[in-house]
Amino acid sequence: MVDEKYYEEKLDHNLEKLLPQELQIEKTAAFKVTKPRLIGDIGLRGFFQLYKKAKQLIKQEKIDFLYIPIPSFYVALLGRWLHRTTGIKYGIDYIDPWVHHFPGSDKVFSRHWFSSKVAKFLEPIAIKKGSLITGVAAGYYQGVIKRNPYLLGNCIFGDMPYGGEKKDHEKLGQLDIAPYLFKKQAGKIQLIYAGAMLPKAYAPLENIFQSINDHPGIFSSLQIHFIGTGKTPDDANGYNIKALAEKYGLWQNIVFEYPKRIPYLDVLVHLNIVDGVFILGSTEPHYTPSKVYQGVLSGKPILAVLHKESTAVKVLKESGAGMVLDFDGEKEIDVIKNTFPTVMNEYLDWMKIFDPNKIDKKVFEQYSARSITQKLANLLNEAVNNNK
């Protein structure tokens, strides 16, 4: 990794306390951010230093495989370069899609337009000799296959969702972290939505807000707190939810938003004080059970609005971890508005008898950190032993 003293973002030192003491961590230098700021991406600023250190470790420790998570997207090129100079096999984990359309990329010669052009040029170079491509879900790497069909003949593909770790929640009691975005309020049912908004989740969300506005009596005690939903991770004023909440008169009485991302453990601390977890999918069925698992580990009842084809729907229902309002994408978007009051009434009644100890956690075992690590180990073994 690049030494954290070269990061621009605020550091979260509590994350280090979750790591095993025997873990070997190798750090490199990076070029500092210039004034004016020309290059900020940590993968670019530390690219040559990372290459030099990785090459040294590969030769000294007889490394079998190089596994590169992206973003930073530019470090994916390290795999191709190190493969050429050392012969090592490598794989890339698409935590986010590299080549994709996002707002602003249609504006010719804009920064987003330029970034999308660079991505389309660099991705084929980076993955050409790859032995393994993984992603949080298949949708994250399907575009890679479509753009580079030849990979199917010599590269292994696999899903690699995040695994939930119960010990992270247990560790909270040993750390000096207290909730600071909001406090527990008597007489209020407080729910949390934590994480970025999916691009196609706004239509379902507007239907929910409209339904709340149309039935004030049912939702008078409700508060939904949106955390880390901003336009960019570090902008405390980059609201994405506020305008929609204001449109329906819900802002700062039922709907609250804290756009800036907060540290992982800080999210868990806020989960501890609320009454439930709010999960919102989109008009596409990509929402996976692994994203639900953190809510399950918090021991709080889950209220979910998801596409009916999402695998998370079945898991939530079978485990008894949550109540689900499911709908069939864009063609059934009105189902949300018409059904949400009924589902909320059922959810409020269910909360009174909810017992986290009765959740069938075996259903989620495949999404535990241990199970996900086992899956990765199997994929790595397969990639190392693949003679293609």
Q: What is the mean pLDDT of residues 341-355?
A: 96
How does residue 285 score in pLDDT terms, banded at 50, 70 and 90?
Answer: confident
% of the chain with per-residue pLDDT over 90: 68
Range with lowest mean pLDDT among 2-6, 134-138, 242-246, 318-322: 134-138
Q: What pLDDT sits at residue 364? A: 85
53 vs 13, residue with greater confidence = 53
**Predicted structure pTM score:** 0.81
Collapsing DSSP states into helix, strand and coil, what is residue 215? coil
Residue 49 structure tokens: 């230093």
Q: Is pLDDT above 90 for 116? A: no
Domains of the chain plus CATH, in order, are 4-162+371-385 (3.40.50), 166-364 (3.40.50.2000)
Q: Is pLDDT above 80 for 288? A: no
Identify which of 253, 262, 227, 223 has the alpha carbon closest to the alpha carbon of residue 241: 227
Q: What is the mean pLDDT of residues 167-189?
A: 91
Q: What pLDDT sits at residue 367? A: 86
Contact in structure between 347 and 341 (CB atoms under 8 Å)? no
339 vs 139, residue with greater confidence = 339
Q: Is pLDDT above 70 for 212? A: yes
pLDDT digits (tens, 9 = 90+) for 267-283: 999 999 999 999 999 99
Identify which of 325, 283, 329 has the alpha carbon closest to the alpha carbon of residue 302: 325
Q: What is the mean pLDDT of residues 166-190?
A: 91
Which whole-number Å values give the CA distances from 357 to 122, 301, 319, in the listed order?
49, 11, 11
% of the chain with per-residue pLDDT over 70: 99
pLDDT digits (tens, 9 = 90+) for 217-228: 999 999 999 999
Q: What pLDDT sits at residue 104? A: 66
Contact in structure between 77 and 46 (CB atoms under 8 Å)? no
Give the other-Cβ count within 10 Å of 54's Cβ: 23
Which strands, in side-by-side order, build the sheet including 156-159?
A: 65-70, 89-94, 132-135, 156-159
| Residue 317: partners with Cβ closer than 8 Å, 6 or more residues away | 324
Contact in structure between 177 and 272 (CB atoms under 8 Å)? no
How does residue 87 score in pLDDT terms, banded at 50, 70 and 90?
Answer: very high
Q: What pLDDT sits at residue 101? A: 67
Contact in structure between 284 and 329 (CB atoms under 8 Å)? yes
Q: Is pLDDT above 70 for 102? A: no
Q: What pLDDT sits at residue 163? A: 84
Q: What pLDDT sits at residue 313? A: 92
